[in-house]
Chains A and B, each alone.
Chain A
Amino acid sequence: MAYIHIENAGKTFLQNGQEFTALSDVNLDIERGEFICLLGPSGCGKSTLLNAIAGFDPVNKGSVSIDGNEVKNPSINNVTIFQNYGLLPWRTVLKNVELGLESKKVPKSERAEVAKKYLEMVKLSEFENSFPHQLSGGMQQRVAIARALAVEPEIIFMDEPFGALDAITRMKLQDDILDICKEEKKTIIFVTHDIEEAVYLADRIVVMTPNPGKVKGVITVPLHHFRDRTSGDFLLVRDKIFDLLNMKTEEYIEYTI
């Protein structure tokens, strides 16, 4: 069985007494070390799927398992990075990175050492004594990345992590995250609505569509971490995604005269 195995997974919510299907019939296998992007417009259930795999809000139909174990709760082995960073404003940058190490019962002297190592990896060593509000958005997200890496997780979930950043900062962080991936060999599941971002980062792109949220198709990106945003191959993959998503526009055509 695959490392992450998702079988007939579905999620329904009760909304004003009515059942609302956020996600239906998802079947997906993810292997160790893969970089997966969940891509789609808002309402397609990509964040719902991520929250289900991360254990924040498990599915209520079908099953999601990691390494053979059904996912029921979040685990410190699988860390999530959020769009609004989730840093604790009352802690310094260093203490933020130490948060997970405290729970893992790492001795106090070692904690700072480990935290500093990962702050260096995200190039923020000189800001270890700053508070989050003193940093820019991009820097804060790098602190969150260091905090996630510090606990040496198996999987890193990213929920539109660069969504609140400007385009240039975003591209820099995309490069950083690819470098870190190569170095650390983590499994990454990355939610985005940005097609270029998905093509640039992913090994495989899971394209999702709304009403109800489901997987439209899975596209393998044959670019192997050697990516050029303007190359023909890059555009070819992008085109494939447009194709998949265009099915959605045809539904709207029915409404035009």
Chain B
Amino acid sequence: MKKILSARYVVVSILILIAIWQVLFLVSDYSEALFPSPFMAFTALLEMIASGQLLTSIITSMSRFIIGYGLSVIAAVLLGLLLGSLPEVFKYINPTLQLLRPISPTAWMPFVVLLFGIGDVPAVVIIFIAAFFPVLLSTVSSVGNIAPIYYKVADNFGVKQPLLTWKIVFPAAFPGIANAIHLALGSAWIFLVAGEMVGAQSGLGYQIIDARNNVRADILLATIFVIGIIGLALDFILGQVEKLILKSWGGGK
């Protein structure tokens, strides 16, 4: 398979971005404090790394992310397996899910802050919501689409609940579930930043707000860059894990 992220393409692509940025910097009338050059942002990045501020923010954000995303995926998959096995019950729950699903997780933010105050909880909750609905709905539909022959084989070979879920239902639905878990990772990471901008006093999202308040656009842009890099890395890591596991399902089809 041809790698999309082959080194040459990455370098050229990033260089083009930096070149455009530099050109805009040269032609724009904004003051340097408001619209810094790539080099100024890079200097700010080094400054943040040296002071340890960046590492602290990353650790704070990552722990919120892992807790929110992890809990969300576990809850959504378990509930999805249950509801997928009970299609009659799901018919009564689905309309509510369809009502809640299109609501942007950020819409819940003020409410969550009212209930829990500023801190870790709002960011965790928003990530939870962002990942929950896509994973839940995909799990339910993956369970519903399991080929009947697997149930027949299980029935014939005496595989009964709760082993049926563990040995047949979960693995049979896994390719669909894994795909949703992967997609949800991206949106969860996007909403982490939103959550920290509104509901927290620490982390990468807050760092952006803090930089704005101090009129440090160089720090602001450097932080945005770091957020992008981490998002890309998370996606890559999960993609590799997914590929590794799905190998046994027939080349990840």
Contacts and interface: CB of A to CB of B under 8 A. Distances in A.
Q: Which 3 A-B pairs have the closest CB atoms?
A: A103-B158, A133-B250, A100-B157
A6 interface: no
A90 B249 contact: yes
B212 interface: no
A99 B157 contact: yes
Contact of B171 (A75, A90, A92): A90
A86 interface: yes
A103 B157 contact: yes
A83 to B, nearest CB: 9
Nearest to A54: B156
A89 B249 contact: yes
Contacts of A88: 150, 153, 168, 171-172
**B contact patch SS:** helix
Interface residues of B, number: 19
Interface in A195-244: none
A79 B249 CA distance: 24
Interface of A: 54, 56, 73-76, 79-80, 82, 84, 86, 88-92, 99-100, 102-104, 131-133, 147, 151
Contact of A100 (B158, B160, B168): B158
A84 B157 contact: no
Contacts of A75: 156, 158
B150 A86 contact: yes
A132 B168 CA distance: 15
Of B158, B160, B172, the most chain A CB neighbours within 10 A belong to: B158
Given A89-B248, A131-B248, A131-B250, A76 B156 contact: yes
